[in-house]
Structure 1
Amino acid sequence: MPDAPATEGAELLAQLKALIAKFVIPPSEEALVATTLWVAATHLQPAWQHAPRLAVVGPAKRCGKSRLLDVLTETVHKPVLTVNSTPAAVFRSITVEPPTLLVDEADTIFGTPKMAEKNEEMRGLLNAGHQRGRYVLRVVGNDHTPHQFHTFAMAAIAGIGDLPDTIMDRSVVIRMRRRADDEQVAPYRTKRDRPALHELRAKLALWANPLAEQALRLEPTMPVEDRAADTWEPLVIVAELAGGPWPRLARQACVRMVASETQAEEDNPSGARILADIRRIFFGSGDPDSLTTDQILFALNSDPEAPWAEHGRGGLLARGLGAMLRDYGISSGNVRAGEIQRKGYTRNKFADAWRRYCPAVHPLDPREGSES
């Protein structure tokens, strides 16, 4: 289907995309499209049910994370830049007309388990603010009157390494990379470059404001489901309102970036990777009714491309396996191994978790139905 003719919105988005690319080298064309749409979506926040986070993460310093945040600060709606701010200060900055939160150096907040535990209130605030109607309740004044504080606001969060899973799950994830020698960007200078960015921000606001009611009522066809659809819907709606090539580009970016994060989650030992690998072990063994713990551990630790052999001095052990599976409601029990009883896992205990967390690892056998 050919793209619709270019409109004012499509041209504004093209200008914004070019300005971002002038100062930052994104990891992919899809990431650049997503960032452009996210910026434009901040100017229509009253229309959204969900406020997508933009997780700007990278494996090391000098990947362009802070530079991208510099550009976002000058183009988003009502920017509130926070570095090591307290949760109380942040939620007191959010009003009924949401600002756009810009959180830099998030690794100083969530970088280690100890830091994350200390900053659990900030994580809760960022999680709650993803959906409209979630409030923080605090007492104020000398008489300690209970007061509801707003949390709903779009937020860009930049840092080294992944953010907590609950935030990543609510985010459009931009995985920045260090610039190669042959990749060139213009140096960013606030006094020199800010006026052009502000001019474009003003044009985006003028274009978006009259479209708020239309944005509120649009129900676009989404290429993904569940929370990913909630997170990407504002970006797809902005693309629909802009027209031109943007509806196609938005859905293409959505599909590819969500699939990439799904794969990253499977590859992450703390995610559903353990379920997917055990499913392959059952399938490769002919889908028996049960396997012993020793059989499962031997197969996991013998896979040279899996992380399990590096789980400790002896690889993944029974205690660690049990702790991972407990999160999914799966526990071990006595199973028959030849003529004796051994500790192990029955296949039927995995069925629900496999269906929910890794449905496309391989075709299901007839006992579970078939996959499309």
Structure 2
Amino acid sequence: MPPRRPQVEWPPVAVPGQGLRSDRTVPSGDGGTAVAGAGDGPRREAGPQASEAGDRAAASGEEVQASGLGAGDETGTGPHVARGPEGADGPANPGGSASRGDQAVSEGAELLTELRAAVGRYVVLPSPEALTAVTLWVAATHLQPVLQHAPRLAVVGPTKGCGKSRLLDVITETVHRPMITVNTSPAVVYRVIGKNPPTLLVDEADTIFGPKAGDKEDLRGLLNAGHQRNRPAWRISGPEHKPTQFPTFAMAALAGIGNLPDTIMDRAIVIRMQKRKAGEKIAQFRSRTSVPALHRLRDRLDAWLTPLAESAADLVPEMPVQDRAADTWEPLVLAADLAGGDWPGLARAACSTMTRYEADQDEETALKTRLLRDIRHIFAKRDDPEALRTHDLIEALRSDPEAPWAEHGANGLNAYHLANLLRDFDIKPANVRFSDGRQAKGFTRNKFRDAWERYCPEPSAAANEPGSPRQRGPLAPPSGPVPPAPPGLPSGPKRAR
């Protein structure tokens, strides 16, 4: 029989013209009560153990570490837990007795390692950090009832065949209450999200948000609002046409070709998939043999995290990032801290590396998009010739006083810089014979057409698009043998290249 999900009471949603109940109590798992105020999440009035630990902390001025989770240390292998508001601390032993708490740490770390191996067995992720992030995101879905934020998992790639759908297949069998769809509407999502929401899994998300998908602002608004708890959507509903609030809070994974809208990407753990190289091996995913073993992992995750969920609601992990990035990554870091072992350090390293990469890509993307626009303007000023010499194109770019190209690099934009900036768009210089009979390195106009249409379309062409997708380069994928199957997973599926 599956363990009972914790009943954590969140502050009510503010309704115009109605007051909020000031304080109310709900049962607590450590012998005390949780007090929920109108302006914050559940606070714990500690039971005997937690009260004693809090008194010691108040006397020494030190933070209280939950003994069942392992103490944080300088190596980063233990959980890093900050105290909650008004001195509210987690229970001294969220797993029960001291021996049970130690067992929970060992079990959680081992279980996450098995889950990581299971994901890596069927899919080549773009980096070890991405594999860590996916593993922890799956674990975080089982803590959904006590989370303040529900990070999105954006699984994107430049083309088909990068493993996006296969990754969605694997995590579907391991997340909490999966609901997978290849297309959906806001009305459906509004009605399936409740107090115990499912984990939304949307494949082919590019068909929802792409330039030919039409107006999907309602769905994008729903996904944006659902990143944070207590952001309901109000609709007129029922035969009496009463204003009705629909919850939006739910974990969600979206897979598709190209970038999702910026507002979703900004709230997501971004996994940039790539096609596998010849030497990168995976195991075949087959429902009959693979799914039962993944379900056993899912059930073990739920059995491990459910008893800890109420305690986890009071923990505030130390984060290496701030603002929205911290909101997005906190559930993953929290799951890692609950596991202990090497996972707290792995989680924070993945958080720092992947958020820094996305920030760098934003700046580089803006520069590349500016380059495409400027080159299109130069071709237009010269009556759209079939090709331009590399030397002439560079001189025209550098002569624009409002553009950054004269100061790009140490001595301004050169042929190497130009080729490097255009490489991700598959635009390369070639030997071109011009109308005067001379042959020189240059760029043909036809090579730019696709990139212009995708990344900087004319205003008339972009009028109906919900957002302009932006090119972002992938992290280098790892190579090596197929990861060994964790206990419970079949070791015999045929390997495919």
The answer, yes or no, to whether TM exceeds 0.5 is yes
- Say whether residues 1:11 and 2:122 are aligned partners: no
Q: Using the TM superposition, give the Cα deviation of residue 210 of structure 1 relative to its aligned residue in structure 2, in angstroms.
A: 0.8
Aligned residue identity for 1:78 = R
- Say whether residues 1:87 and 2:219 are aligned partners: no
Q: CA RMSD in A?
A: 2.7
Inter-partner Cα distance in structure 2 for 1:169 and 1:99: 22
Aligned residue identity for 1:13 = L
Which of 316, 319, 324 is matched with 1:219 structurally?
A: 316
- Say whether residues 1:228 and 2:338 are aligned partners: no
- Say whether residues 1:24 and 2:123 are aligned partners: yes
Inter-partner Cα distance in structure 2 for 1:232 and 1:262: 15
**Aligned 1:93-112 pairs, distance under 5 A:** 93-112=192-211
Q: Using the TM superposition, give the Cα deviation of residue 294 of structure 1 relative to its aligned residue in structure 2, in angstroms.
A: 5.3
List, as ranges, runs of 4+ consecutive aligned residues in structure 1 with deviation greater than 6 Å. 270-274, 306-310
Q: Counterpart in 1 of 2:265?
A: 168
> Which secondary structure does the structure 2 equivalent of 1:200 belong to?
helix
Q: Using the TM superposition, give the Cα deviation of residue 67 of structure 1 relative to its aligned residue in structure 2, in angstroms.
A: 0.2
- Say whether residues 1:303 and 2:400 are aligned partners: no
Moved more, 247-256 or 265-274: 265-274
Q: Using the TM superposition, give the Cα deviation of residue 47 of structure 1 relative to its aligned residue in structure 2, in angstroms.
A: 1.4
Moved more, 296-305 or 201-210: 296-305
Q: Using the TM superposition, give the Cα deviation of residue 172 of structure 1 relative to its aligned residue in structure 2, in angstroms.
A: 0.5
Q: 1:259 to 1:192 in 2, by over 3 A?
A: same
Q: Counterpart in 2 of 1:74?
A: 173
Q: Counterpart in 2 of 1:134?
A: 231
8 Å Cα contact 1:265/1:273 also seen in 2: no
- Say whether residues 1:254 and 2:360 are aligned partners: no
Q: Using the TM superposition, give the Cα deviation of residue 253 of structure 1 relative to its aligned residue in structure 2, in angstroms.
A: 0.3
5+ residue gaps, structure 2, are 1-73, 79-101, 372-398, 423-442, 460-497
Q: 1:160 to 1:272 in 2, by over 3 A?
A: closer
More helix by share: 1
Moved more, 224-233 or 300-309: 300-309
Aligned residue identity for 2:122 = F
Q: 1:143 to 1:56 in 2, by over 3 A?
A: same
Q: Counterpart in 2 of 1:266?
A: 363
> Which secondary structure does the structure 1 equivalent of 2:283 belong to?
coil
8 Å Cα contact 1:20/1:71 also seen in 2: yes
8 Å Cα contact 1:266/1:272 also seen in 2: no
Q: Using the TM superposition, give the Cα deviation of residue 269 of structure 1 relative to its aligned residue in structure 2, in angstroms.
A: 2.1
Q: Using the TM superposition, give the Cα deviation of residue 270 of structure 1 relative to its aligned residue in structure 2, in angstroms.
A: 8.3
* Higher Rg of the two aligned structures: 2
Inter-partner Cα distance in structure 2 for 1:108 and 1:55: 14
Inter-partner Cα distance in structure 2 for 1:88 and 1:9: 37
Identity score, percent: 57
5+ residue gaps, structure 1, are 275-292, 324-372
Inter-partner Cα distance in structure 1 for 2:311 and 2:136: 17
Q: 1:273 to 1:199 in 2, by over 3 A?
A: farther
- Say whether residues 1:62 and 2:161 are aligned partners: yes
Q: Counterpart in 1 of 2:138?
A: 39
Inter-partner Cα distance in structure 2 for 1:50 and 1:271: 33
Q: Counterpart in 1 of 2:342?
A: 245
Q: Using the TM superposition, give the Cα deviation of residue 82 of structure 1 relative to its aligned residue in structure 2, in angstroms.
A: 1.7
Q: Using the TM superposition, give the Cα deviation of residue 298 of structure 1 relative to its aligned residue in structure 2, in angstroms.
A: 6.8
Deviation per residue, 1:122-154 (Å, 9 max, x gap): 111110100000111112221111111111001
Inter-partner Cα distance in structure 2 for 1:303 and 1:95: 55
Inter-partner Cα distance in structure 2 for 1:128 and 1:30: 27
Deviation per residue, 1:151-182 (Å, 9 max, x gap): 10010100001100000000000001101111
8 Å Cα contact 1:266/1:273 also seen in 2: no
Q: Using the TM superposition, give the Cα deviation of residue 297 of structure 1 relative to its aligned residue in structure 2, in angstroms.
A: 2.7
Q: 1:50 to 1:271 in 2, by over 3 A?
A: farther
Q: Using the TM superposition, give the Cα deviation of residue 271 of structure 1 relative to its aligned residue in structure 2, in angstroms.
A: 10
Q: TM-score, normalised by structure 1?
A: 0.74
